[in-house]
Amino acid sequence: MRKVLFVLVVVLLVSAVLSACQPADVASYNLSVDADNFRIMRRIIFYNGITGDYIQVIEGRCSLGDADPAGELSVTCKVGDDLYVKHFLGLSDNVTYFVEQLSPKEVSTYHYTVIFRPQTVLPAFELDLE
């Protein structure tokens, strides 16, 4: 009985939290999840604010680093089946970047996207039975 009551309380709390979200927030979150899972084509442009020149342009199914130190940006791009490249870029007071989504993506404004990866939950391991 306690477990059922606990589950019911958790479901009600989650429902209350999710119902307070604006549709734009849910769509933005779902677009970010899709981009981080290499489902969205992006163009990332590094721009020198003093000279007005583009320094570098990266285009493809790319994800931006979330936990990069200040003044740094990592960009990971999927270039094939299980093939990835990673770029590290330094940012300064005159170098900035912007990210352009190259095509629209249909996402739900009512449901969050959650992706489970079995290989992350259960990492690969080898058994040596000798």
Q: Which residues contact 61 (CB under 8 A, 6 or more apart)?
A: 38, 39, 40, 41, 42, 77, 78
Residue 118 belongs to a domain: no
Q: Kindly report the pTM of this predicted structure.
A: 0.66
d(CA 74, CA 45): 13
| Domain housing 65 | 2-105
Q: How far apart are the first and last CA of the chain?
A: 49
Tally of domains in the chain: 1
**pLDDT of 106:** 84
Q: CA triplet 121, 122, 123: central angle to 5 degrees?
A: 110
* Phi, psi for 8 (deg, rounded to 5): -60, -45
3-state secondary structure (DSSP) of residue 97: strand
Length of the chain: 130
pLDDT of the chain, 130 residues: tens digit per residue: 777 667 666 666 666 555 557 778 888 888 888 899 999 999 999 999 999 999 999 999 999 998 899 999 999 999 999 999 999 999 999 999 999 999 888 877 777 666 666 655 666 666 677 6
Kindly report the number of other CB atoms within 10 A of residue 62's CB atom.
24
Q: Is residue 111 part of a domain?
A: no
User: What is the structure's pLDDT at 88?
Assistant: 93
Q: Tell me, what's the pLDDT at 105?
A: 85
Flag whether 12 is in a domain.
yes
| In a domain? residue 54 | yes
Residue 112 lies in a domain: no
Asked if the structure places residue 53 within a domain, the reply is yes
The gap from C-alpha 6 to its chain's centroid, in whole angstroms, comes to 32
Q: What is the pLDDT of residue 30?
A: 84
Residue 11 domain flag? yes
Residue 80 counted as domain residue:
yes
* Edge-to-edge strands, sheet with 72-80: 83-90, 72-80, 54-64, 41-48, 95-101
